[in-house]
Chain A
């Protein structure tokens, strides 16, 4: 083998202080744990989308109802069951009406395109199944002898125009003429309130219960975990239902029932974390230095157990939101006129045949919210577990 000649000075030793050819790359190990978590979470697109949605939802739920001219309970039976989008009939230049073929009423279209008022009929012919209005000097007849009902203006069959947004009530109105948008936002408030209450209650109960169980260990731990086992066998929904039966329906009861139920997972997680951490040296050190149990719990253990606790909490939120809406749906949750996504859905089911669009908003709202929290939880869990990201 022939090798190229090598210049003599190449054989000189390298000064260890200066340019050694190629420095050892330390790698990303020096990156802090939380910085890593944050960057992984940041790159987790569904989680970020979920977080964005949640922030939006919170802002809308807090400020939306304040900005709305309507309240969640204000009824207007004349303007009930209005759609968010409709196709107006033009009666005369600048005069348009909306026909509700389910209740056979005509509504006035306001300047901005909102449905602003019910038009009182000027004549009803029950036998021929016709209702007559005099509008802008024209005779408008709704013939409901046939299905769907036909509108004639001065004897001519009218054609509906292009789709228009109902600017008065962008999401339409419900059976009692209440504004659906503001009720939706109110429902968001309830869901978020329940979520917050559940998180708070669970955090406190779960951390204290699991913490005490894990720290004390031994017999106390065994008994406490047996209790957890028993509680865990009962389906939480059933438990919440029984609570609601006793407490009577209402928002406070829902919050109370849900808040006191979901701590079991949290207690288990915290206990598990504590058992692993307990075996580590610094806790033993703190103990020998005379730190009290609660001090150890809050100063040393919680910061370390923060990750799993956070994931458990995030995963708990959709369950709490779900169970509230579930209870409200079967009529055991918040009481009318309060609006929860569950009651909104069940109200929409009542009018499903005539006004299916009323199902749309609560169904989408709860589904998106659940998705958002689930995505965020998944993202957090993945981000906290570096093992998964290779």
Chain B
């Protein structure tokens, strides 16, 4: 059996079904929550700019019963139309997301790369040098990275590197240097987490029986480590990549605010302070869809990496 033929279509279908169900739950939940807000978008008596009120009315039919409004909204989501902004006349939630997507995607992707490209090697180096200074140093930094909140890393770094030393710009992404601090602050936690996880997994794997088998075969220590140890120890690391994406998303709320980056996260936080309810809903749902896709991708990756898993014969 090869990797490709192990792809169980049944499982995939079930998985996507589950995703849609989750999505439906999220949409319903956010709709219900927004409906519960006093002065929310689905209440007809309120003080709004007339054109916004008209746009909302046209979209959701504010005078119609609640279930109709819900269906209208659901219909909109299914056709990738998240409706008009609740605060800015003539602005749609879609355009808000489109506006911030590039910035958020760039920083997010860079942060993701950092997490893997720094976290994994750091964990490996620590494990290889178990108990010696590189291990101690790496694990000390990882402890800090896990404990110190991202917004603290961001503000302190902003002060030191941008304001005091002037090495990086304090805001904006006009220059490649502008990416450094946001990406480091964004990825700090998960970089540390992945480093620790990699280290402990590698140590755990290296104490497995099959490592002894590999050594008993006469393979050089390096081959044992790379071919038998590393691959197996990295499989569990892949599973955290799903949560990493989620965390980078929510982390971007504060990072984009601190560094004044015009990303979706900033729009989201602004929507919240502005009480732009339709934007809050829309962005939340956008996040949910995105996350669900990422988790699916991670699951497929896992399937490909670990031959023991066959989602096909799940009970």
A–B interface present (Cβ within 8 A)? yes
Which A residues contact B (CB, under 8 angstroms)? 46, 226, 229-230, 233-235, 237-238, 241-246, 318, 322, 325-326, 329-332, 342, 345-346, 348-349, 352-353, 356, 359, 363, 366-367, 370-371, 374-375
Partner of A318, one of B21, B36, B147, B258: B147
- Contact across chains for B151 and A233 when beta carbons are under 8 A apart: no
* Cβ of A227 to closest chain B Cβ, rounded Å: 9
* Cβ of A145 to closest chain B Cβ, rounded Å: 24
**Mind listing 7 A-B residue pairs with CB under 8 Å?**
A46-B143, A237-B253, A242-B284, A326-B151, A345-B155, A348-B155, A359-B156
Chain A residue nearest in CB terms to B273: A331
CA distance A168 to B151 in the complex (A): 30
Given A230-B22, A352-B163, check contact A367 B284 (CB 8 Å).
no
Most buried by A among B18, B36, B250, B277: B250
Partner of A326, one of B33, B147, B149, B272: B149
**What residues of chain A lie closer than 8 Å to B21, measured between beta carbons?**
230
Chain B residue nearest in CB terms to A321: B149
**What residues of chain B lie closer than 8 Å to A246, measured between beta carbons?**
33-34, 36-37
- Contact across chains for A367 and B272 when beta carbons are under 8 A apart: no
CA distance A46 to B258 in the complex (A): 32
**What residues of chain B lie closer than 8 Å to A342, measured between beta carbons?**
151
Given A352-B155, A356-B159, check contact A325 B149 (CB 8 Å).
yes
* Number of residues on chain B facing chain A (CB within 8 A): 45
- Contact across chains for A233 and B292 when beta carbons are under 8 A apart: yes
Which B residues contact A (CB, under 8 angstroms)? 18, 21-22, 25-26, 29-30, 33-34, 36-37, 143-144, 146-149, 151-152, 155-156, 158-159, 163-164, 246-247, 249-250, 253-254, 257-258, 269, 272-273, 275, 277, 280, 284, 287-288, 291-292, 295
**What residues of chain B lie closer than 8 Å to A332, measured between beta carbons?**
272
- Contact across chains for B273 and A359 when beta carbons are under 8 A apart: no
- Contact across chains for B155 and A245 when beta carbons are under 8 A apart: no
Chain B residue nearest in CB terms to A244: B272
**What residues of chain A lie closer than 8 Å to B144, measured between beta carbons?**
367, 371
| 8 closest A-B pairs by CB | A237-B250, A370-B147, A371-B147, A235-B246, A367-B148, A363-B152, A230-B22, A246-B33
Partner of B37, one of A245, A325, A374: A245
CA distance A332 to B253 in the complex (A): 12
CA distance A39 to B126 in the complex (A): 27
* Cβ of B314 to closest chain A Cβ, rounded Å: 12
**What residues of chain B lie closer than 8 Å to A356, measured between beta carbons?**
159, 163-164
**What residues of chain A lie closer than 8 Å to B30, measured between beta carbons?**
242
**What residues of chain A lie closer than 8 Å to B33, measured between beta carbons?**
242-243, 245-246
Most buried by A among B151, B159, B288, B291: B151
- Contact across chains for A367 and B250 when beta carbons are under 8 A apart: no
* Cβ of B165 to closest chain A Cβ, rounded Å: 13
Given A242-B33, A242-B280, A242-B284, check contact A233 B295 (CB 8 Å).
yes
CA distance A280 to B63 in the complex (A): 60
- Contact across chains for A235 and B250 when beta carbons are under 8 A apart: yes
**What residues of chain B lie closer than 8 Å to A325, measured between beta carbons?**
149, 151
Known A330-B269, A366-B152, A367-B144; 7 more pairs at CB < 8 Å: A46-B143, A229-B18, A233-B22, A235-B247, A242-B284, A352-B155, A367-B152
Partner of B147, one of A245, A359, A367: A367
* Cβ of B296 to closest chain A Cβ, rounded Å: 11
- Contact across chains for A233 and B291 when beta carbons are under 8 A apart: yes
Chain B residue nearest in CB terms to A233: B22
CA distance A326 to B295 in the complex (A): 24
**What residues of chain B lie closer than 8 Å to A237, measured between beta carbons?**
250, 253
**What residues of chain B lie closer than 8 Å to A353, measured between beta carbons?**
163
**What residues of chain B lie closer than 8 Å to A46, measured between beta carbons?**
143
Chain A residue nearest in CB terms to B265: A330
**What residues of chain B lie closer than 8 Å to A331, measured between beta carbons?**
269, 273
* Cβ of B142 to closest chain A Cβ, rounded Å: 10
CA distance A331 to B258 in the complex (A): 12
- Contact across chains for B155 and A326 when beta carbons are under 8 A apart: no
* Cβ of B252 to closest chain A Cβ, rounded Å: 11
Chain B residue nearest in CB terms to A232: B243
* Cβ of A111 to closest chain B Cβ, rounded Å: 34
CA distance A244 to B249 in the complex (A): 18
Most buried by A among B34, B144, B155, B284: B155
- Contact across chains for A367 and B149 when beta carbons are under 8 A apart: yes
* Cβ of A390 to closest chain B Cβ, rounded Å: 10
Partner of A234, one of B258, B272, B273, B288: B288
- Contact across chains for B291 and A235 when beta carbons are under 8 A apart: yes
Partner of B272, one of A233, A241, A322, A374: A241
* Cβ of A119 to closest chain B Cβ, rounded Å: 29
Given A235-B246, A349-B155, check contact A230 B25 (CB 8 Å).
yes
Partner of A374, one of B34, B147, B155, B275: B147
**What residues of chain B lie closer than 8 Å to A245, measured between beta carbons?**
33-34, 37, 272, 275, 277, 280
CA distance A385 to B284 in the complex (A): 40
**What residues of chain A lie closer than 8 Å to B18, measured between beta carbons?**
226, 229
- Contact across chains for B22 and A330 when beta carbons are under 8 A apart: no
* Cβ of A360 to closest chain B Cβ, rounded Å: 9
- Contact across chains for B143 and A371 when beta carbons are under 8 A apart: yes
CA distance A330 to B267 in the complex (A): 12
CA distance A356 to B160 in the complex (A): 10
* Cβ of B36 to closest chain A Cβ, rounded Å: 5
* Cβ of B185 to closest chain A Cβ, rounded Å: 13
Partner of B146, one of A242, A366, A374: A374
- Contact across chains for B159 and A366 when beta carbons are under 8 A apart: no
- Contact across chains for B148 and A330 when beta carbons are under 8 A apart: no
Most buried by B among A226, A241, A243: A241
Given A237-B250, A352-B163, A367-B147, check contact A345 B25 (CB 8 Å).
no
**What residues of chain A lie closer than 8 Å to B152, measured between beta carbons?**
345, 363, 366-367
